[in-house]
Structures are given as C-alpha cells and as structure tokens.
Structure 1
C-alpha cells in the first residue's frame, strides 16, 4: 500500500500529522506532541478493536499498521508517528521500506538514557510480550547496554487494564506489583516504560517502585524528533490552537469516554473505516 503523489503538495495549507497506536496508549505521546506543537492539526487512530498488539502474530500487527498508515495518508498527512512500541520493535523497518516517501517517527524503549542513568547497573524494561521478544529491543540492548544488565519484563494484562480504564484499584495495583517484583528484587533502579499504555499506570508503578527508582517515558523525545523531522513548519502562528481528531476501530462511545478521561477534555471519536 503506497501513497500516490497526489496526496502530497496539494495546497499551501500545512497538512496534518497522523499518530496511531493499538489503542488509547498513544495518547501519552499525543499529549507531548500537542504540548510541543500547539498549532498543528493532529489525527489520532486508536486501533482498540484489534488491541492488544502485544500477543498478536507479527504479520497481523504489520498488516494493521499498513492499513492505518494508508488511512492516514488518505487524510493527506505529512508525517506519521508510530506511537506503539510493539509495531516499532516488530515492523518499523518493513514499514519504512513500504512508505519511503513518508516521515515515520517511531517510539522505542528508552534503553540508552536508562543505561546512562542507572547507579546499580541494572535496568528494567516494562513491555508487551511481542516487544520483549522483538528484534528492535534486542538491537537497542546490544547497541547501548554495555556492562549494564537490561532485564526485559513482559506485563500481561496491563494494556487491557488501560483500555478498560482501570487505572487504579486493588486488581490494577496487584497486576503492577507482580510485574515489578522480579525487577526490583534484582536491583533495578531505572524502569523504562516500553509501552505507550503504561504511562497511564505510572502512579501505581512509582508507588510500588519507591522514590529510589527512576521511571522513564520516551514520549517527550518522540515529540522532539517529530518536530525535527517535519518536512515543513506549520503555517499557523505559534499562538494558534490546532485541532485534534480521533478515530477508533472499537466501540466509539466507549473510546470517546476513555479518550476524554485520558486527554482531559470532551472529544468525539469517529469509526475507523479500515
């Protein structure tokens, strides 16, 4: 699936920026993009009808990413942010080959800054099963870990908790604690949030980990990389407020309520036609 040249340069008006994730987790990246680029028009796709990606076969994850990028290209975006660590870890190289004309900015676990920050010499990466097993994470660890131990911990059920809006409560605290225990027991003093859903569980993570453990979220770095790679700046003034549009492949009423809760203001979610 490739964009035709007609999708680009059709007018002098700045084209929007597309952002997508397996569900609502990518809102943690979207909010950093909105803070850094307040005048941009942003299009967000939550593929909640197919979430989570973390335990899906690789071809299925890649096929969903291809279709969503195709949908965003049809909206004439000039860049796409892959706000899903699983897609990045499994498929980003293939996607960049398939869409060579499109700037694809991808999130990945903040292994390099975690290695630089650790004092104990042990870092934990919290991620989905697919990210833990992905070649992308393996490359990051090989490139940056050096003598530091990097422990990758799969966190089953965390994405589903966020998709249901279960951000607190006894069950959520127990699920978070169960995944942190092995890392803390081995001396990890830096925890990397390797899934964009996990920042919404950050209060529980920090509460269990304690003040001596640093928790890293790479979302702000992704926003800065997007700003650097935009093919052209927005024509709007720096004080203008850009619009944000939301699509979901799941139940749109549920999506709108959950997105509004996480985004901090009322929103309307349209049905994703792919």
Structure 2
C-alpha cells in the first residue's frame, strides 16, 4: 500500500488522556525527525471503566480529529482503546497505518527470570478478548498474574506522579503479592510508566518493570518504512498537543519533557 500523504505529514497519537505521551516520548527518541500530533481525551478518562461500545465511539472520534489534522499514520497509544477498538479502526481506515499497543508480555517472558509476571492494567484491558489471546499464548511458559488497577489513571491525569497518597494507593494494590517471587511487572496501561519510580520503590529494584512503548515505536517505524512515508528531513520535528480538557494541555507538555 502506498500512502498519498506527504512524508512531512505528522504522526497522530491518541489516548484516553495523558498516558499515551509515554509512548510518543519513546517514539520521538527513535524517530526524532518526524512531526507529531497528540490528542488526549482527558474529559472522558478513564476509558478502562467504560463499556466497549463507549470506548469504540470515543476512539473513532479521536481518529477523525487526527486525520483532519493531516495524520499519515495513527498510533492508538492506549491499551484499553487498542483492546476494544483496533480491529474496527483498521477496517474503517484501511488506507493508512494503524498501530496499537498491548501489554509487553513477550519481553517479560524473554527475560527468562524465575518468578511470576505481574500485569498491571485497567479492568477493561484485562477483560477483553485481545488480552485473553495474549495470555493464552504465554500462560504455559510462565505464571502470569493480572492486577486490575482501577483508580490509578486518575492520579496521573491530575498530575500526581509521586507522594504519600499515591504510594499508599499503590501499596494497597500490590499488597498480598510476594515480591520475592516476582520476576517482572508489565505496565499494561500507557499512563502507568509515569509512576514507574513509585512502583519500583515499593517492589524493589530486583523486579524488572516493562512497558510496551519501545515495541510500539519500532512497529510504527517498520510500517512507515513499508509505506515509504518516513520523514527524511534532518531537523527535529514539530510536536502539537491537544486535549479535550484544555487545562490538561500544559500538563501534557510537562510530561513529554520529563
């Protein structure tokens, strides 16, 4: 497939809020010469507690927004939206690359460490068929323990990335799990990398913490190259950030520059 879009057209990212910025940040490291447009739907966050139909409608609305801005490819930088809507979005927009994200179970398995793999994610991500397929692919190789973390997105959306209240919340979510028997924690929500340090301080530095940002960035690069639409300019690209809650735009720029 050849895209009719210019190489200079931006790559569009969207998420239920600010979480997908963690994916875009990793992508900028890999593809610094591309132009980027980000849309965060913080007004409707979190997606992880909504119905599948609600998430699909919001996801299609976000895609339309990015296409109107001239996006040459779309990254669904949201585990919940990927689980609920990526198949329908790919059918609806077959003429451009659509890249989703899923919990990075494969890299966790490939660490080949003894112990459980803990997956922190939203309830919807863990309940969707896409996640069940992912689990079935690896469940014979490792003990994989899903950990729904309803409420964590709200901390990050409000800019709380550290502190006593957040640490207490995380400790309560993680309590009861034997950290000495944990090899790694997979962050199955793009918001969660922004509180990686607090999670690490609770579980200890022997536990690897992994997210899917790099894998998504590499897949995006592969698809852009495949479609002959990699940006060939030498200077750094532009970044535009939009949010359905205008007051969150300032926080978004702070997070992308962390």
TM-score of the superposed pair, with normalisation by structure 2? 0.93
> Which residue of the other structure, out of 182, 187, 192, is the alignment partner of 2:181?
187
2:116 counterpart residue number: 122
Q: Say which is worse superposed, 26-35 or 254-263, in terms of deviation.
A: 254-263
> Which residue of the other structure, out of 194, 200, 211, is the alignment partner of 2:205?
211
1:245 counterpart residue number: 240
Q: Is the 8 A contact 2:36 2:240 kept in 1?
A: yes
- Report the Cα distance in structure 2 between the residues aligned to 1:248 and 1:42, rounded to whole angstroms: 14
1:40 counterpart residue number: 34
- Report the Cα distance in structure 1 between the residues aligned to 2:250 and 2:71, rounded to whole angstroms: 26
State how many pairs are aligned: 254
How big is each residue's C-alpha offset from its partner over 1:175-230, in whole Å with a ceiling of 9 and x where there is no partner?
A: 11122224435822210000000000000011001021110011011111100001
- Report the Cα distance in structure 2 between the residues aligned to 1:150 and 1:163, rounded to whole angstroms: 28
Evaluate the alpha carbon distance shift between residue 244 and residue 186 of structure 1 in structure 2; reply closer, same or farther with a 3 A threshold.
same
1:258 counterpart residue number: 251
2:137 counterpart residue number: 143
- Report the Cα distance in structure 1 between the residues aligned to 2:250 and 2:66, rounded to whole angstroms: 23
SS at match of 2:117: strand
> Which residue of the other structure, out of 140, 164, 178, is the alignment partner of 1:170?
164
Evaluate the alpha carbon distance shift between residue 260 and residue 202 of structure 1 in structure 2; reply closer, same or farther with a 3 A threshold.
same
Evaluate the alpha carbon distance shift between residue 209 and residue 185 of structure 1 in structure 2; reply closer, same or farther with a 3 A threshold.
closer
1:73 equivalenced with 2:70 (yes/no): no
Q: Is the 8 A contact 1:40 1:241 kept in 2?
A: yes
Flag the structure with more relative contact order, 1 or 2, with Cα contacts below 8 A and sequence separation at least 6.
Answer: 2
Evaluate the alpha carbon distance shift between residue 96 and residue 234 of structure 1 in structure 2; reply closer, same or farther with a 3 A threshold.
closer
SS at match of 1:151: strand
- Report the Cα distance in structure 2 between the residues aligned to 1:35 and 1:205, rounded to whole angstroms: 24
> Which residue of the other structure, out of 155, 158, 161, is the alignment partner of 1:161?
155
**Structure 1 runs not aligned, ≥5 long:** 1-7, 266-274
Q: Say which is worse superposed, 55-64 or 118-127, in terms of deviation.
A: 118-127
Q: Is the 8 A contact 1:190 1:213 kept in 2?
A: yes
C-alpha displacement of 1:135: 1.0
Q: Is the 8 A contact 1:184 1:209 kept in 2?
A: no
Q: For the aligned residues, what is the CA RMSD?
A: 1.7
Evaluate the alpha carbon distance shift between residue 90 and residue 260 of structure 1 in structure 2; reply closer, same or farther with a 3 A threshold.
same
1:61 counterpart residue number: 55
Q: Is the 8 A contact 2:16 2:78 kept in 1?
A: yes
- Report the Cα distance in structure 2 between the residues aligned to 1:263 and 1:14, rounded to whole angstroms: 21
